[in-house]
Amino acid sequence: MAKGFYISKALGILGILLGIAAIATIIALSVVYAQEKNKNAAVDPTSPATTITAATTLDQSKPWNRYRLPTTLLPDSYKVTLRPYLTPNENGLYIFKGTSIVRFICKDPTDVIIIHSKKLNYTTNEGHMVALRGVGASSVPNIDRTELVEPTEYLVVHLKGLLEAGRMYEMESEFQGELADDLAGFYRSEYMEGNVKKVLATTQMQSADARKSFPCFDEPAMKATFNITLIYPKELTALSNMPPKGPSVLLAEDPNWKVTEFQTTPVMSTYLLAYIVSEFTSVETRAPNNVQIRIWARPNATAQNHGMYALNVTGPILNFFAHHFDTPYPLPKSDQIALPDFNAGAMENWGLVTYRENSLLFDPQASSSSNKERVVTVIAHELAHQWFGNLVTLAWWNDLWLNEGFASYVEYLGADYAEPTWNLKDLMVPNDLYRVMAVDALASSHPLTTPAEEVNTPAQISEMFDSISYSKGASVIRMLSEFLTEDLFRKGLASYLHAFAYQNTTYLDLWEHLQMAVNSQSAIKLPGTVRDIMDRWTLQMGFPVITVDTKTGSISQKHFLLDPESTVTRPSAFNYLWIVPISSIKSGNLQNHYWLQGNAATQNDLFKTQADEWVLLNVNVTGYYQVNYDENNWRKIQNQLQIKPLTIPVINRAQVIYDSFNLASAHIVPVTLALNNTLFLINEKEYMPWQAALSSLRYFKLMFDRSEVYGPMKNYLRNQVEPLFLYFENRTKNWTLRPESLMDQYNEINAISTACSNGLPKCEELAKNLYNQWMENPQNNPIHPNLRSTIYCNAIAQGDQKEWDFAWRQLQQVQLVNEADKLRSALACTNKVWLLNRYLSYTLKPDLIRKQDATSTINSIASNALGQSLAWDFVQSNWKKLFQDYGGGSFSFSNLIQAVTRRFSTEFELQQLEQFKKNNMDVGFGSGTRALEQALEKTKANIKWVKENKEVVLNWFTKHSQIVPGPYSHLAPM
C-alpha cells in the first residue's frame, strides 16, 4: 500500500510557508462518517436473524475469543458470488448480497470451525448460518449451533463430532452486507458527473476487511485460490483480479443484470482481493511479454487522456521489475484504476491495483511535475508489490516493514527506469531517510521487527503502517543493497522469490537467500553474516551517530537521541551498538570502504587528516546514520562549502545541513554551528541542499513563529534566497519558461515559496499579479501548474475574502483532481481566522468537501499557525466520539496526534497533552498510542530546546539578517 500520509513535492514545499504539515484532523472526516453511518446503522428488518455473542460473555480460554486463527483448518479455495445494489433499498440502505463456498482441509481433528466474518447478516438454513459437507469420501458431523463473535470478528460453527485430519470439507453460506461509504471491505463510492450522482462498488481489503465482504480465513498466510463471480447492472463493467472466463451473460431471472465469472486466481492472500463495478472506461496497451495493461478512470477523465501517462510508464516498469527480480510478471493482466473515494494512496491488489485519482491520473496541461513524479513513483511502488508481497507474502503483519520498506525502496528504482533523466533515486534521502530519522531518534521509537505475538488486533495491525515500516524499512534495505552491491542483492532476491513463490515467509528467509548470494562469490567480504549485520538494524530501534576526531583518526558510535536525557526503556540485546558500513571522502577523493564492527570506538588513519585536509563520511548518505566531527573538521567543511562546494557531492551538501541541525537539536553541537552550515546557500543553486535547509528550519519556524525570533529569521531567509529567486527569474525569462531538470523545477518552487513567505517584495508582487490576472479572466489560468500551489497560497495569504472566495468557486468547478488538491491546500493559507473557521466547518459537509479529501483539507488548515489551535481544540473536544465512531484501527489517528502537537513547546501545552491522555484512557488511542507517547516526549524535548536556544538563535539571526546585496542582484529580468 502506498503511504496514505504522502504529500506531493509541491504541497510539501508549500508546507514551508505554513510550518510543518500537520497531518491533521482525520477527525472531521470521522464526524462525517458518524453522521452518514447513523443513517445506515439500523439492521435491515428484512434480513435474517443471527446469533451474536456479546463481549460480556466471552471466555478468553476459547479459541474463538483469540484474535489469531487456529491452524487446525487451512483454506484451499473459495467460490464467491456477489451482487451489489447501487441504488438504496426501501429502508434507504445500499446493500450487497452474496454466496460463498469455502473448501478447506482439516490439519488436526476439531469440533469447531472458526472463520472471519464482519458486519454480515446470514440467511439461516435449518436454523444454522452455514451448510457443511464433505468432499469426496469425507463424512461430515452435524452442526450443533452457529454464532457470530463480534469482538474477534468470527463466525463460529460448533459441531457435534470431529472433523478428520487430512480430509477436505466445504462450507456454504448466503449473506448480505451493507455497501457502506466507509472505504473498507466491499464499499460504495459516489461522484458527480455534471449534475448526476454516480455510484460504484469497489473494495479495500487490507489489512482485515475481506471478512466484511464474505466469510473467509482472513490472515495473510491463509492463502487459497478464488473464483469470483459478480452480478451487476448490465450497463456497467465488472473487474476483478483475473480476466473474465468468457463473455458476460444476462441474468436469467432478470435481464437488466449481467453475470461475469472470472478466471481462478493463483494461490493468494485475502487482503489482495479486489472487485469493482462501475461505468469507468479505460485506455489499453500490451507489454512486450503480452501482459494486458489497462488504466481505468471516470469516463470524462479517460476521454481527456488523463490515463495516458500511467499507461505509458506501466509497461516499462513491469518489464524493469521482471528483469530486476528475474521472475516474469505472474498474471495475464495489469489493471490499474483511479477511484474518487479511496482511503490510502494506493493498494497493490494482485492484477487490479486501486489508486486515489491524484496518484494515477495526470493532465499535462494542468498537472505539475510533482504530480507526475507522484504518479510514476506510486505506480512503481504498487507494481513492485506484485512480486514482493503478492507472489511471496509475509506470514504475518509484524513483518509488514519488509513488505512496505522494500516497495518504498525499489519504487525509486522502477520510477528511475521510467524517467531516467529525473535523478529520482536521490530523492529518497530527503523524502524517506531524514524524514523518518526525526521519529526514530525518539526514545519512544520502536524496532522494525515486532514479535508476532505482540500484533493481534486490527488496531495493532494498523499500528504497523507507520513511517518506521515504510521509510526506515526502505532506508536500511537501500543500505543493505549498497554494501552488498546491487548485483548481489538482486541475485539473492531472485533466489528468494523463486524459492517461495505463492508461499509465505519471514524476513529471515530473505536474509538467508542474500547470504547464499554472498557465499557464492569472493569479491564482497562482510564482517559477519547478513543476519548478524541486519539484526542490529531491525531488532533494535534508532540509529547511531558516528563521531570522528580527525586529529587522531578515532571513530566511535552512540545511539542518537534527539533528547539525550530521555530514558530508553526498551532493552537491546546489542546494547544499541551497530555494525556500520562507512564510506568516506578525504579532500574530495573517495576512500576505501570501512566497517565499524559493532564496537563503541576504534581508530583508523582513513579518518586522520593533515593540515588542510578534510574528511566527510557517509557518501551520498547510503548509510542509515548521522555523522559528527571535531570542530576543526566542521570548520574546514564550512570553508569548502563557501569556496569550492562542488568537491562535495550534492547529497552530502544536503547531509551537512541535515546532520548538523539534528546534532544541534540533540545538544551534541552548538546550534550556531548548524546555522553556520546554511551560510553557503547564498551561492547554492541545487535543490537538495536548499531542501535540507528549508526542511531543517521548519523546526525553528514551528518553535519560534509565535515569538520575537521570527522577524530576524525571516529577514535572514529573505537575504539568503534572493539570489536564488533572481537566478530563476533570469533563467526562466521572468517566469515564462520552466527549467529543464526536475530538480531545478523543484528548486524554482523553493525559491518562490521561500521568497514570498519571507516577504521579498518582488515575489509578493509576482504572486499577486499572476493571481489577479487569473481572477480577471477565470477561463485562462496564466500560472504554470508547477507554480500554482505556491502562487495560490501566497496570493490568498496576502489577500482577503475576495481572493479566498474566487479560489473556492474555482474548486467547485474544477474537474482535475490535481488542480483541486492545489486549491484546497491554498485555501488554508489565509491569514483571516474567520475564513479558516468557515473552511474548517466545510470539511464536515460532504457536499462541500469530499470525505476522502476532508483529512488533507484539515491537514492544510492545521499547517497554518493560525489554524493549528483550531484543530487541537477539535481533537480534545471530540476524541471519544471520533474514536468510537471511526474506529481505533484507522492508522490516520497516529498521524493526527503527531500533526496537531508539532508546535507544542510550552509547559501549558504539555499539561494539555497529558490531560488529554488522562481524559481518554478509558476510550483508548488505538493506532495513535505510539504517536501519543512520541508527542509527549517530543513536547518535553521542545520545551527544553527552546529554553536553551531561544536567545542564541535570536542573536544569530539578528547578526546575519542585515541586508546584503546578493551576487545576482545586478541581473535584470528578461
Please give the positions annotated as active site.
382
Please state the separation of Cα 661 from the chain's center in Å.
25
Q: Residue 487: which residues within 8 A CB-CB, separation 6 or more?
A: none
Query: Do 385 and 377 form a contact (C-beta atoms < 8 A)?
Result: no
Strand-pair partners of 204: 185
If you ran DSSP here, which 8-state letter would residue 433 be given?
I
If you ran DSSP here, which 8-state letter would residue 212 be given?
G
CA distance 372 to 786: 10
CA distance from start to end of the chain: 46
Write phi, then psi, for 451 (nearest 5 degrees): -55, 140
Of 200, 203, 106, 214, which Cα lies nearest the Cα of 162? 106
CB-based burial label for 114 (10 Å; 0-12, 13-18, 19+): buried
Please state the separation of Cα 890 from the chain's center in Å.
13
Three-state secondary-structure class, residue 727 = helix
Residue 642's CB is within 10 A of a number of other CB atoms, namely 12
Of 665, 659, 599, 661, which Cα lies nearest the Cα of 442? 665
b/e map 939-967, b = 16+ CB within 10 Å: bbbbbebbeebbeebbebbbebbeeeebe
Query: Do 313 and 416 form a contact (C-beta atoms < 8 A)?
Result: no
CA distance 159 to 559: 55
Q: Residue 735: which residues within 8 A CB-CB, separation 6 or more?
A: 728, 729, 766, 784, 787
Query: Do 672 and 634 form a contact (C-beta atoms < 8 A)?
Result: no
Strand-pair partners of 554: 549, 603
Three-state secondary-structure class, residue 840 = helix
If you ran DSSP here, which 8-state letter would residue 164 be given?
P
Query: Do 325 and 407 form a contact (C-beta atoms < 8 A)?
Result: no
CA distance 317 to 383: 8
The cell for 159 is 459441531
Query: Do 86 and 94 form a contact (C-beta atoms < 8 A)?
Result: yes
Query: Do 184 and 218 form a contact (C-beta atoms < 8 A)?
Result: no
